[in-house]
Amino acid sequence: MRDFLPAEKARRERVLAVIRERYRAHGFDEIETPVVEEYARLHAGIGGDNEKLAYNVLKRGLDADAIRAAADDPASLTDLGLRYDLTVPLARFYATNRGHLPSVFRSIQIAPVWRAERPQKGRYRQFVQCDIDIIGDGSARAEAELVVATLDTLDALGLEGGSVRINDRRVLDWMLDSFGFGAEERPGVLITIDKLDKIGPEGIVAELRERALRLGQGADSAAIDAFEAFLRRPITLEYHPYGERQIRKALPADAPDEIVSHLVGIGAAAAAARAATAGDEVAGDIPLVFDPFLVRGMGYYTGTIFELAHPSVDYSLGGGGRYDGMIGRFLGQEVPAVGFSIGFERIVDLVAEQTDAAAPAVVLVHDRDVPEAGLLALKAGLVRQGSRVRLEQRTKNLKALLERAASDGYTAFATVTAGTTADDLEVKPLG
Amino acid sequence: MRDFLPAEKARRERVLAVIRERYRAHGFDEIETPVVEEYARLHAGIGGDNEKLAYNVLKRGLDADAIRAAADDPASLTDLGLRYDLTVPLARFYATNRGHLPSVFRSIQIAPVWRAERPQKGRYRQFVQCDIDIIGDGSARAEAELVVATLDTLDALGLEGGSVRINDRRVLDWMLDSFGFGAEERPGVLITIDKLDKIGPEGIVAELRERALRLGQGADSAAIDAFEAFLRRPITLEYHPYGERQIRKALPADAPDEIVSHLVGIGAAAAAARAATAGDEVAGDIPLVFDPFLVRGMGYYTGTIFELAHPSVDYSLGGGGRYDGMIGRFLGQEVPAVGFSIGFERIVDLVAEQTDAAAPAVVLVHDRDVPEAGLLALKAGLVRQGSRVRLEQRTKNLKALLERAASDGYTAFATVTAGTTADDLEVKPLG
């Protein structure tokens, strides 16, 4: 976990302010849930592998007997846990507060989550997630609103040119079924397919064959052959322009109409919105890419899945999907839901440096013997005029002092001696 | 712990934005520390009673033997804890990052803390603290900067008329010593004095006598007599204008010059700054009140202590003090430090409701059969023009739908049918 020093903290807050403002403009409303949730909720099997990475809070007031008894039941040591994502808490929030929310609820959550990840470069045990979700709308409009708001936010951060890879869990299911993989085989096959970007089609087929051999599943051999033939078919996918023809061409024959038309609907609505945003009527070219082999790890997805890409990096900047089954787990009544999460920690590193141009920031460099009352009056006068003001007692190395102030975002300075009045004060630009 | 629904969350974020902006204007820089700190640091005896209220995180990977062994050593079950305040983490942060910080470091921390409080009205187990601290300046200027920034922030929130009660731990120590209380008696006596607002001078004296009797400390009898005589002296304290004469008058004779001049210095600097802020030169009337019986609970205070008051409420809205000893506990080298914490959860309830006047917020009420692409294009067009836009499918009770949108901060609406184009769209004010 990390400390954030002033320059980095200011940068993070600036990026968060843009994200928050854009999401709000698109009709989403921010909510907040407590950092800790009940242990049983966090470990209900919804969070997938993340459940294993959860930090749990020690029960208070355990006596020696209770601790000894917990040797055979470690879960009895805890009743609360730190959230590992914002989706499980949102489902719980919606179930708790539904009566106070609009029938279609569009939420923003901007908040830290915790996972006991192994320390490695670029991974932190506390990190911020920025999620938008739409609960109560099962139509393709919901996915399109998420895609449009996400891409608009990326644009507002100066990261133009982002695109969204899109697929549907039902596409994967139907494809694997059509190749001949049994329902019980598919989760394992999906884990392999998820590596397509890394190991390529040949690697996928080799891994599937090796696995079938190891598990003694000779019956899968025909399914793997069918899959291989499909992967090797001699077509180039034309993802742009995105439409029914392109989607059908990327899939085995006779893909189900319902799924294809949902994917087409998302594209049409997103395209119309992007065209209206850009102020032109060319609706054809939208940054949406159909990828029939996009998997996404989380087990709770039931339909559409997305991943956010940007040409400047070869990793995903966010993702999400439809999880129509989850709210029902908490509410006892099915409610459709779909979400998109921006990878804040990755995005904040890509956003160009910028200083607060809004207000001048002045360092008052004062001699040691300047009376306190006069010094604070000079500071207050500048603050009143709209400046940000820092006091610094003069040191021998004035240059170093001013350089450090400049690196902290200060743009001007003035020197103050014992006799300086507000009228004498000469504010000069820094650097 | 609480969920925050959209209206309340928006209000909290608005108040936090004002606080953050004002503190920054006064030359403070925001930092952030992880939510969890090492158990040993949180339980080093610095946090006072709050240590007992800490939530601790269960160690990961404990086996049955380790759990069984912990029956005699419950602390071995945990290695991390949720912070219970922002001061202990700040001291740790400063010790870790000192080389990257200015020699006088003015920090802002705006973040949640956790305490296992007993559930009672107005108390929450997760709550936000807003702290400013100055590390590396032992002069009265530091206290004055904190007081001025705090009162300016209160003004900016529309809570004009705030005032700061001020005392010095050394004043209390010296007074009790001059009455004749032994050093070992003083902590207990301070706990009683802290109740002055509630039980009055007679109550204080009665409690001290009862306690001396119970503990068999007959020697304290003379000290209590001296204290009682002081409390009953026939003067009315004139707290305004705040100056050396007023401070000396409120204390027994011959109060130490060093402490009095520090208190006077704070007042003079704060007065000059407030006068410059207000734009006039009348420096006499500052909202500072010397209260020789102000105690403040935390044991780590070593000098000045403050409490923030406002005429609209009879409880404190914040407080702080000087804790010159604490940084040394982490750094191994003494560094002066003083902080002021605004009670965000109390203040947010006092701030007047206000809607975002910045941008119009429009609800698009659409029929069920409006094509998705057209609907999203209408929304995107309004977003592009600077509006916040929410889609709502028309329901039988249109009035209820619009009322709920208004209560969510929306200010206008337009109805959309299957044929509506951007040119037809008629945006009307809500309500």
Residue stretches of chain A with pLDDT short of 70: 217-219, 234-241, 279-285, 353-359
pLDDT one-digit tens code per residue, A203-224 = 999 999 998 888 776 657 889 9
Find residue A107's DSSP bridge partners: A29, A133
> CB–CB of B27 and A376 under 8 A?
no
Q: For testing the chain A interface, which of B1, B20, B42, B141 should be mutated: the one with the most A CBs within 10 Å?
A: B141
A10 contacts in B (CB within 8 Å)? 29-30
> CB–CB of A265 and B6 under 8 A?
no
d(CA B271, CA B288) in angstroms, rounded, equals: 9
pLDDT at B284: 47
Question: Between vectors from CA B156 to CA B155 and to CA B159, what angle results, nearest 5°?
Answer: 40
A36: nearest Cα among B152, B125, B216, B353: B125
Distance from CA of A231 to the nearest CA of B (A): 33
> CB–CB of A32 and B9 under 8 A?
yes
Phi-psi region of B123 (alpha: psi -120 to 50; beta: other; left: phi over 0): beta
pLDDT one-digit tens code per residue, B169-219 = 999 999 999 999 988 888 889 989 989 888 988 999 999 999 888 877 665
Residue stretches of chain B with pLDDT short of 50: 281-284
d(CA A423, CA B13) in angstroms, rounded, equals: 38
Residue-range domains of chain B with CATH: 1-159+310-354 (3.30.930.10), 163-304 (3.30.930.10), 361-429 (no CATH)
Share of chain B above pLDDT 70, in %: 94
> CB–CB of A273 and B379 under 8 A?
yes
User: Is the ipTM reported for this complex over the cut 0.85?
Assistant: yes
> CB–CB of A30 and B13 under 8 A?
yes
Q: What is the DSSP letter of B386?
A: T
> CB–CB of A384 and B276 under 8 A?
yes
> CB–CB of B55 and A404 under 8 A?
no
> CB–CB of A26 and B71 under 8 A?
no
Q: The pTM is what?
A: 0.91
Which of B68, B97, B374 has its CB closest to that of A71? Answer: B68
Residues 6+ apart with CB under 8 A from B136: B103, B104, B105, B335, B336, B337
Find residue B153's DSSP bridge partners: none
| Whole-Å CA distances, B185 to A67, A104, A131, B227 | 39, 63, 55, 14
Buried b (16+ CB within 10 A) or exposed e, A165-190: bbbbbbbbbbbbebbbbeeebbebbb
d(CA B86, CA B93) in angstroms, rounded, equals: 10
pLDDT at A283: 45
Closest chain A residue by Cα to residue B33: A3
> CB–CB of A380 and B126 under 8 A?
no
A276 contacts in B (CB within 8 Å)? 376-381, 384, 422
A395 contacts in B (CB within 8 Å)? 103
d(CA A174, CA A151) in angstroms, rounded, equals: 29
Which of B74, B372, B391 has its CB closest to that of A67? Answer: B74
Which of A74, A272, A373 has its CB closest to that of B376? Answer: A272
> CB–CB of A380 and B274 under 8 A?
yes
Tokens of A227: 């899959």
Which of B26, B30, B58 has its CB closest to that of A58? Answer: B58
Sheet with A163-168, strands from edge to edge, namely A29-30, A105-114, A126-135, A337-342, A318-322, A304-309, A163-168, A288-290
H/E stretch holding A290: strand A288-290
Q: For testing the chain A interface, which of B13, B19, B24, B117 should be mutated: the one with the most A CBs within 10 Å?
A: B24
> CB–CB of A383 and B275 under 8 A?
no
| Whole-Å CA distances, A197 to A212, A316, B383 | 21, 12, 36
B275 contacts in A (CB within 8 Å)? 377, 380
pLDDT at B239: 53
Distance from CA of A402 to the nearest CA of B (A): 11
Tokens of B240: 């305004």
